[in-house]
């Protein structure tokens, strides 16, 4: 069933199509319907398997951009050498905060999917601690959503990091 209201056609469970009748012909940009953002959140002690994550990517034919971010542990923290970082979290609150951020992405950008993996436990220098993938129709939207997500994650998600000193030389 299709309903028509004030120049907007609604196709249940698919998309909203806006029709601009001021132009000759039809101008029909598609806008994702609320709550269709595909989400995958993993908070784990296991190493991040980037090839497996990449192989599991799914996107529709309308998507033209995939932005992936891989955050790795640096060898220094606040100017001091380290060997690893230990990440701790309040898991239920972290999951809740991530889903609030995903909800906000859905409101701000026409993103099809967001996948995020965050390590907890001890992560050695040069090992990945964060992997984020954002799929959107265009690169600008994908880059903006990815950067916003990472910035907000650092601000509101209860994941704490504790530097661990460098390994003694043998």
* pLDDT tens by residue, 2-31: 333 333 333 333 333 232 333 333 333 444
* Mean pLDDT (whole number) for 67-86: 97
SS3 state of residue 140:
helix
Confidence of residue 169 (pLDDT cuts 50, 70, 90): low
| Structure tokens given for 1 | 């069933």
The helix/strand count (H/E) of the chain reads as 3, 13
pLDDT confidence bin for 149, thresholds 50/70/90: very high
Give the SS3 label for residue 50.
Answer: helix
Cα dihedral across residues 107, 149, 99, 38: positive or negative: positive
What average pLDDT does the chain have? 84
pLDDT of 105 above 60: yes
Cβ contact 80:162 at 8 Å: no
Q: What SS3 state is found at 60?
A: coil
Pairing of strands 159-164, 113-119: unpaired
b vs e for 70-91, b when ≥16 Cβ sit within 10 Å of the residue's Cβ? eeebeeebeeeebebbebebee
Kindly state the DSSP code that residue 26 receives in the 8-state scheme. Answer: -
Compute CA distances 134 → 23, 40, 91, 170, whole Å: 33, 11, 22, 42
Give all domains of the chain, ordered by start, each with its CATH number. 1-33 (no CATH), 34-164 (3.90.1170.40)
Reported confidence tier of residue 82, pLDDT bands at 50, 70, 90: very high
Residues 114-131 pLDDT 10s: 999 999 999 999 999 999
Report the interhelical angle of 91-108 vs 139-156 (nearest 10°).
Answer: 150
* pLDDT at residue 50, rounded to an integer: 97
- Adjacency order of strands within the sheet including 159-164: 121-124, 84-89, 159-164
Residue 168 has pLDDT above 80, yes or no: no
The token pair that represents 149 in the structure block = 């997500």
pLDDT at 163 over 50: yes
Return the closest-CA partner of residue 132 out of 46, 44, 50.
Answer: 50
Cα-trace Rg, the chain: 20
pLDDT at residue 97 above 70? yes
């Amino acid at each position: 069933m299709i309903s028509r209201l004030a120049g907007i056609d609604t196709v249940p469970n698919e998309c909203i199509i806006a029709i601009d009748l001021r132009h000759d012909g039809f101008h029909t940009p598609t806008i994702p319907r609320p709550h269709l953002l595909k989400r995958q959140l993993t908070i784990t002690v296991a190493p991040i398997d980037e090839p497996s994550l990449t192989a599991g990517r799914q996107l529709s034919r309308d998507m033209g951009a995939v932005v992936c971010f891989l955050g790795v542990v640096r060898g220094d923290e606040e100017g001091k050498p380290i060997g690893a970082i230990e990440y701790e979290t309040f898991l239920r609150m972290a999951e809740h905060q991530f889903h609030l951020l995903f909800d906000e992405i859905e409101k701000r950008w026409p993103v099809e999917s967001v996948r995020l993996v965050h390590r907890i436990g001890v992560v050695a220098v040069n090992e990945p601690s964060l992997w984020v993938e954002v799929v959107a129709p265009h690169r600008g939207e994908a880059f903006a959503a990815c950067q916003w997500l990472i910035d907000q994650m650092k601000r509101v998600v209860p994941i704490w990091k504790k530097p661990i000193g460098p390994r003694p030389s043998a």
